Amino acid sequence: MTITALRQQLGIETPFVVPQPLPSQYLRGLQAPLSGLLNSIRIAIRDDTLTVAQIDAFIQENLDLLTPSKKKQILGFLLSKKAFLLFRDGHEEEGLEFYEESLKVDEAPSTWALKGTALLQMERLDEAFQSFKKAFSLRDYFGPQRQEYLKDLIEGWSTAALIRGLFGILEQNVTEAQKGVEEYISILNQAKDESLQTAVVNLAVEEPAEQNLRDALEELELMVQLLSIKDPFEGWRQLTKEISKVWPKGVSAVDAVREQRQPNWQT
């Protein structure tokens, strides 16, 4: 099983961060024909008709006419938009390269978030989460729609973390399960600081669903609860409490552990 296959089994779409429109401040102070050309690009973005060829033409023919400060902002934005279009059309590696080029020009948080989404679709999870973290660290630069973009980021990021944790449980891979759950807990804590805890996703499965998937979701929920407890002794008490609910009477825990100590789980 892959992360993509598991997401499809759960009926969850790929976490998606909506690209920003061309910021209106980029047009301020510009004279014709630059103002008209950029306004045409802004409209094409709004109507979802912008092409890579239009972006390339503007960069080649008009970029050097901009002031240095405007040039940095607009070039970074256009390269990020080009990356998005390439990736959407199936040119994944090329799209990723242009995200990196965009970030060399301007480390916009929206570009980091879009790069994270792209890496997630390529199942490069560690890199994806690093990109989401970078986007969150630059959240004050999201602009006037800060909360809206943060909400999208947290929803996609937390969904990806939970799916990684669930994937680890189903594949009996402790490392992957723990990475996903610890990432999720970190996101939840940061979301609370922004009063956006409602944006953090909780996984659920619609009936009918296979028993192993329902069991794995229960294990995932328990794992989140236990790893959220900072006091290790309290964590142990909670674990033994959960185990006692299902442990059969008259069965030795020591004997059961000995029987189950097989190299099934990867570390």
- How confident is the prediction along the chain (267 residues), in pLDDT tens digits per residue? 788 888 888 887 766 666 778 888 888 888 888 889 999 999 999 899 999 999 999 999 999 999 888 899 999 999 999 999 999 999 999 999 999 999 999 999 999 999 999 999 999 999 999 999 999 999 988 877 788 889 989 998 999 999 999 999 999 998 999 999 999 999 999 999 999 999 998 877 665 678 888 889 989 998 898 888 876 666 556 656 665 665 566 655 445 545 655 555 555
Give the span between the Cα atoms of 107 and 246, in whole angstroms: 51
- Own/partner contacts of 84-89, CB < 8 Å, gap of 24 or more, are 84/19, 84/114, 85/50, 85/51, 85/52, 85/55, 86/52, 87/118, 87/121
pLDDT at 145: 79
| Count, residues in the chain | 267
Structure tokens at 126: 């560690």
Domains and CATH numbers, the chain: 21-144 (1.25.40.10)
Q: How many CA atoms lie within 13 A of 18 on its CB side?
A: 14
Show the tokens assigned to 190: 């940061």
Beta-carbon count within 10 A of 108 CB = 22
* pTM (predicted TM-score): 0.82
